[in-house]
Structure 1
């Protein structure tokens, strides 16, 4: 069995995936420990919990001075972490597992997103409602490891991605679908799908509505995979100081996400102030949709890795085939791929201090989008 050919930068992994030469907990002036967190993408509400934890002083309460490193197309967070250029990273689980198989010493210590937010979207009048109906169609996807659920859905439907569909490299927007250059497009529930609803229908002069589109949600057909998680350096987890630091980091992170659950407008404003190029209504939509992926939390509280969801992600990574017949993984993950030890300690701490760690009463908002997401 072969593996996916993913982004070249992902394949150029370090010759040594261990710790940096510096101590696990260097102390900055003022008695706080400087921490670098590598994000997966540009500043947006997908990372609002971390932004809030910085702004609200939750990290400082734990003695941490956290610097958020913005991501981008050419940045692979798990590689940055494995190379010792960050202390923690936010990355999708299948991408990170592919990096682990190639030698990256990283461990999932906090599964923040309990659910997947990936869609494929078609026009309602196309008649496309299932992955099986992608046959003979132009199928957009971003690549860079974002397409694994798409291949999983097509594999499950009995399609050969190399023969039965025309794969189209999609930009990180929805213009190709809007211009009808492709039949189905990849979209995140919290970002690109909103871009469709922020676009003007030239036939009516009004914004498109959900009734204009058909969503294929991978959560409904068993092809969903775990996404945003906090990853730590595996070798450094042998250091008691890094272990304690990890608990502190996760405790503050949990408080940040709980704050954004309870204060979505305030977190929207924090993200906009951070420099996001997306507008206020778009960011409020994103904050609301991201909250749906986090809350209600998995059994035990936000950040706990659910064994069934983990197994489904691994099973799909071993069996779903891309256009060349390759799979994400060639074997089961070995070593310390994930642990709940540190998030359990963090949850006990913040729960004792009065933070709701499960969000069982969470109710999403109804968000009204404006043209262009302004």
Structure 2
């Protein structure tokens, strides 16, 4: 047997794979810390980041993300350019900042439309941008380039800019004529207070720009494009999760990020953000190069860019060249896969060798069946001394083989060789009984055989197991009865529906019926009889009244779902 060698070679390959795996994964054990500068305090506007942290999208890519809240004094672009933060959120103002010489790179737009609008009192006479000529407008001074572009496109130049107080009541009380607000925030407050107001939206005047935009520094994008790529991918996955699980995200924002406003406002914000992101229309982070070029051209035509901006330089390319570390990791991974492949091939080879050896031993039963058929077809003389029971290693009882010559001779007088596959069961049983009696040195036969007067023709595949069962039952009766106890009767009957019964009875002491049906016995005879009976689709009945009588019921035709004979 080859089994020990297989185990040795298998262990060698498993050891090789175990040695290579830590090398491949070693670089991912320590998380790389990155900092993200948000535009404002924690709210649903940044739910994608929260989801990516909570669902371990960052951790799976080797990143540990720190989120930094924003306030009116913090400029996200300055934080990223100065490397105090690695990533940030801003608006399309980033194009203006790039024209001013700030080395930033745009990664992806989060909002497909801007949430920044201009709010005016519903009691005022302001209905469109031109009505603000000569009036006051409250702006924050950062992230509002789309609003300024709206006024420039309408050729409005006489507007008095007032620093933003972030108090919506300044608009309500008339301290200012107009105020920049967010559709996701201050608009909700105005509606909740049921105050009259109107909205001037830039996209209604041809300024439909992206809203929140994720960006990083040019230095980081150049030095570690792989890190940037991993961060971007995890963030967008986080947004996909957040949009599909809004209620769970709102609970997370309240419990973990200290959100103090009402749940109703948070739910309003989440619905507005779904609209601004184009949920159900485009995937989070969808970016169009032609749309970015249009935004650049719009800013340039309105005189808002101090110098030209090259779109190829400002947009991050998500397919950077592989770094040396990545190439090394891929090489090691391919090596491990090759080792696994060789292990699989060798395992299949040695396993196939084992199976061939086993099939050779198991196939001896098939060879015996074929040998019996061959003898019947060629009229070969067989030694009549071969008559014994089944022994180890799948050898069945050979005591039927001596009958083959007799059966062949009988068939040769009545049928041609084309019909030799079928024999008369009546004659077959007579020959078997006579042979068994001679092997027991019986001077006078103690066995009476009762068979129908007409031939009972059965296939050879069915005759062989019936003969085995008959020999076992007959031998057992001869062993356990004496001549004084009377004759042994073997009776064959053909019933309706092509069913036959074969009974073997004696007048001996009888046997325990429970022992006959018990699965575990010390002898091989009973298990053999039960196995052969099952294989020919038959059934057994035993009676111990006035001796022992065992009856076998079986169909005359071979059943398709059964296998006649012994198979391993």
Q: Is the 8 A contact 2:92 2:146 kept in 1?
A: no
Partner of 2:162, secondary structure, is strand
Check 1:155–1:104 CA distance in 2 against 1; reply closer, same or farther (3 A cut): closer
Structure 1: any 5+ residue segments left out of the alignment?
Answer: 1-26, 200-206, 321-326, 344-374
> 1:63 — aligned with what?
62
Deviations 1:236-268 (A, max 9, x none): 3334xx222222212211121112211222222
> 2:254 — aligned with what?
272
Check 1:125–1:97 CA distance in 2 against 1; reply closer, same or farther (3 A cut): same
Q: Is the 8 A contact 1:170 1:176 kept in 2?
A: no
> What are the residue-to-residue correspondences of 1:171-190 with 2, within 5 Å?
171-190=165-184
Return 252-261 or 101-110, whichever deviates more. Answer: 101-110
Deviations 1:128-173 (A, max 9, x none): 2211111233322222x2332232222222211xx3x333323123
**In 1, Cα distance between equivalents of 2:281 and 2:318:** 15
> Please, which of 130, 133, 136 is the counterpart of residue 134 of structure 2?
136
What's the CA shift for 1:119?
A: 1.1
Check 1:179–1:125 CA distance in 2 against 1; reply closer, same or farther (3 A cut): closer
**In 1, Cα distance between equivalents of 2:153 and 2:98:** 25
Partner of 1:336, secondary structure, is helix
**In 1, Cα distance between equivalents of 2:240 and 2:187:** 25
Deviations 1:213-258 (A, max 9, x none): 221111111124333222123233334xx22222221221112111
> 1:50 — aligned with what?
49
Check 1:81–1:216 CA distance in 2 against 1; reply closer, same or farther (3 A cut): same
Q: Determine whether 1:223 maps to 2:222.
A: no
> 1:192 — aligned with what?
186
Q: Is the 8 A contact 1:226 1:309 kept in 2?
A: no
Check 1:342–1:49 CA distance in 2 against 1; reply closer, same or farther (3 A cut): farther
What's the CA shift for 1:32?
A: 1.8
Q: Is the 8 A contact 2:220 2:228 kept in 1?
A: no
> 2:233 — aligned with what?
251
**In 1, Cα distance between equivalents of 2:43 and 2:133:** 34
**In 1, Cα distance between equivalents of 2:31 and 2:55:** 16
**In 1, Cα distance between equivalents of 2:248 and 2:260:** 17
Check 1:232–1:169 CA distance in 2 against 1; reply closer, same or farther (3 A cut): closer
What's the CA shift for 1:61?
A: 2.0
> 2:153 — aligned with what?
156
Q: Is the 8 A contact 1:121 1:216 kept in 2?
A: yes
What's the CA shift for 1:28?
A: 10
> What are the residue-to-residue correspondences of 1:81-160 with 2, within 5 Å?
81-94=80-93, 96-143=94-141, 145-160=142-157
What's the CA shift for 1:103?
A: 3.3
**In 1, Cα distance between equivalents of 2:87 and 2:95:** 15
**In 2, Cα distance between equivalents of 1:283 and 1:139:** 27
RMSD of aligned alpha carbons: 2.5
Structure 2: any 5+ residue segments left out of the alignment?
Answer: 1-25, 321-568
> 2:308 — aligned with what?
332
Q: Determine whether 1:296 maps to 2:273.
A: no
Check 1:194–1:107 CA distance in 2 against 1; reply closer, same or farther (3 A cut): same
Structure of higher CA gyration radius: 2
Higher relative contact order (CA 8 A, sep 6+): 1
Q: Determine whether 1:214 maps to 2:198.
A: yes
Partner of 2:313, secondary structure, is coil
What's the CA shift for 1:191?
A: 0.8
Partner of 2:156, secondary structure, is coil
> 1:363 — aligned with what?
none
**In 2, Cα distance between equivalents of 1:52 and 1:246:** 18
> 2:299 — aligned with what?
317
Q: Is the 8 A contact 2:86 2:220 kept in 1?
A: no
Check 1:314–1:266 CA distance in 2 against 1; reply closer, same or farther (3 A cut): same
Q: Is the 8 A contact 1:272 1:283 kept in 2?
A: no
What's the CA shift for 1:342?
A: 5.2
Partner of 2:314, secondary structure, is coil
> Please, which of 255, 258, 266 is the counterpart of residue 283 of structure 1?
266
The aligned length equals: 293
Query: Normalization by structure 1: what TM-score?
Result: 0.71
Return 303-312 or 48-57, whichever deviates more. Answer: 303-312
What's the CA shift for 1:276?
A: 2.9
**In 2, Cα distance between equivalents of 1:281 and 1:124:** 24
**In 1, Cα distance between equivalents of 2:108 and 2:183:** 22
Query: Normalization by structure 2: what TM-score?
Result: 0.48
**In 1, Cα distance between equivalents of 2:77 and 2:209:** 17
Q: Is the 8 A contact 2:107 2:315 kept in 1?
A: yes
**In 1, Cα distance between equivalents of 2:231 and 2:126:** 44
